[in-house]
């Protein structure tokens, strides 16, 4: 704090002003320290509500009743989503991808992204920076491709999985309800080394504990046990939980929606593996009541042997 020497006649007045300012500074400091001390308690108060943030029927009710849970949830969710986007960007060496427009899908002039190493499945995606043959900027487009990360997105390779695994761990620590982080993180753990199946399952089970109303996580647990561990009873238990979680609503979130669809598919396939063809057709029929245009369920419904 900077003080000027003042004439004697104004000294008493300014001393009182300085004392008042000092008192205000002390009060401000005490207020800040109190806020810091309380913040940890408030975060712990909000967290139990925030962990139910997976897309469910009662999530809006929770947010309406607990405003602070909403604020903290949005902050943590935004940070996790930012890490998700940056992880994808880093996996592609800094090259950013985007969904193709309807016109690009029809004309098929844009380069369609595809994976050469099987790490990612790209569906109707292309690069944010256009390729030279369809870039109307000409010289300026060449400059951008020269100074920013760019490669031909067709049949491309990815950075080593091991480099991005910590980011999936970090985003699910920040936001335990960030379901995509658990789904893709488990896939990356297994892709890095097939012997890491136990770690991948443990990661998904943590996601299930933090998101007990998620559909996609329980479907993925069922798939892992059906395909990898061959523990059919365990697979059925998880898949039935996924169907139960989505019994009374249709999710708009693509991860949860696909999780519900795949739960019906895997239950039908599980029944087929057990030789229970009647049960297989029953699950296919139930799935078609929710997803009437699904070709895989229709094939299973019509399968006779």
Range of the domain at 261: 161-302
Q: Would the CA dihedral through 174, 176, 180, 184 be positive or negative?
A: positive
Query: Tens digits of per-residue pLDDT, 71-96?
Result: 555 666 677 777 777 777 767 777 77
pLDDT at 27: 46
Phi, psi dihedral angles at 127 (to 5 degrees):
-75, 150
101-132: b or e for each residue (b if 16 or more CB lie within 10 Å)? eeebeeeeebbbbeeeeebbeeeebbbebbbe
Out of 119, 147, 175, a domain closes at 147
Mark whether 167 and 287 lie in a shared domain.
Answer: yes
Query: Tens digits of per-residue pLDDT, 32-67?
Result: 434 433 333 333 333 333 333 444 434 434 334 444
Report yes or no on 202 lying in a domain: yes
Mark whether 168 and 221 lie in a shared domain.
Answer: yes
53-86: b or e for each residue (b if 16 or more CB lie within 10 Å)? bbbbeebeebbeebeebbebbeebbeebeebbee
pLDDT at 73: 55
Measured CA to CA, the distance from residue 132 to residue 151 in angstroms comes to: 11
Mark whether 191 and 297 lie in a shared domain.
Answer: yes
Measured CA to CA, the distance from residue 55 to residue 236 in angstroms comes to: 23
% of the chain beyond a pLDDT of 90 = 35
Number of domains in the chain: 2
| C-alpha radius of gyration, the chain, whole number | 27
Picking from 266, 268, 162, the residue whose alpha carbon sits closest to that of residue 215 is 266
Query: Tens digits of per-residue pLDDT, 101-111?
Result: 888 888 888 88
CATH number of the CATH domain containing 236: 1.25.40.10
pLDDT at 267: 97
Q: Is the pLDDT of residue 9 over 80?
A: no
Report yes or no on 47 lying in a domain: no
Query: Tens digits of per-residue pLDDT, 107-133?
Result: 888 888 887 766 666 778 888 888 888
Least confident among 10-24, 136-150, 162-176, 235-249:
10-24
Report yes or no on 64 lying in a domain: no
pLDDT at 293: 92
% of the chain beyond a pLDDT of 70 = 71
CA of 238: how far to CAs of 156, 232, 243, in Å? 35, 10, 9
The set of residues, in sequence order, having a beta carbon less than 8 Å from that of 211 and lying 6+ positions away, is 51, 54, 176, 177, 179, 182, 217
What is the β-pairing status of strands 97-99 and 125-127?
antiparallel
Q: What are the residues facing 97 on neighbouring strands? A: 127
Q: What are the residues facing 156 on neighbouring strands? A: 115
């Amino acid at each position: 704090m900077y003080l000027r020497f003042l004439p004697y006649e104004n000294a008493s007045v300014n001393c009182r002003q300085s004392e008042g300012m000092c008192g205000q500074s002390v009060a401000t400091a005490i207020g800040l320290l109190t806020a810091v001390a309380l913040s940890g308690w408030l975060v712990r108060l909000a967290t139990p509500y925030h962990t139910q943030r997976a897309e469910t029927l009662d999530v809006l009710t929770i947010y309406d009743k607990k405003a602070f849970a909403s604020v903290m949830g949005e902050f943590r969710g935004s940070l996790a989503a930012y890490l998700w986007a940056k992880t994808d960007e880093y996996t592609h060496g800094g090259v950013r991808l985007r969904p193709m427009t309807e016109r690009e899908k029809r004309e098929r002039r844009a380069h369609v992204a595809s994976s050469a190493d099987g790490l990612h499945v790209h569906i109707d995606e292309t690069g944010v920076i256009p390729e030279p043959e369809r870039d109307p900027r000409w010289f300026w487009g060449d400059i951008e491709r020269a100074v920013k990360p760019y490669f031909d997105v067709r049949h491309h390779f990815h950075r080593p999985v091991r480099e991005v695994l910590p980011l999936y761990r970090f985003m699910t620590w920040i936001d335990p309800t960030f379901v995509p982080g658990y789904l893709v993180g488990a896939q990356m753990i297994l892709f890095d080394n097939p012997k890491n199946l136990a770690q991948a399952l443990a990661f998904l089970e943590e996601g299930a504990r933090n998101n007990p109303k998620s559909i996609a996580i329980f479907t993925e647990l069922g798939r892992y046990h059906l395909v990898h561990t061959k523990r059919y009873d365990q697979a059925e238990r998880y898949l039935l939980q996924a169907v139960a979680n989505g019994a009374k609503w249709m999710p708009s979130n693509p991860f949860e929606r696909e999780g519900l669809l795949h739960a019906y598919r895997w239950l039908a396939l599980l029944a087929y593996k057990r030789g229970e063809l009647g049960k297989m057709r029953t699950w296919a029929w139930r799935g078609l009541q929710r997803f009437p245009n699904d070709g895989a369920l229709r094939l299973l419904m019509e399968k006779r042997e």
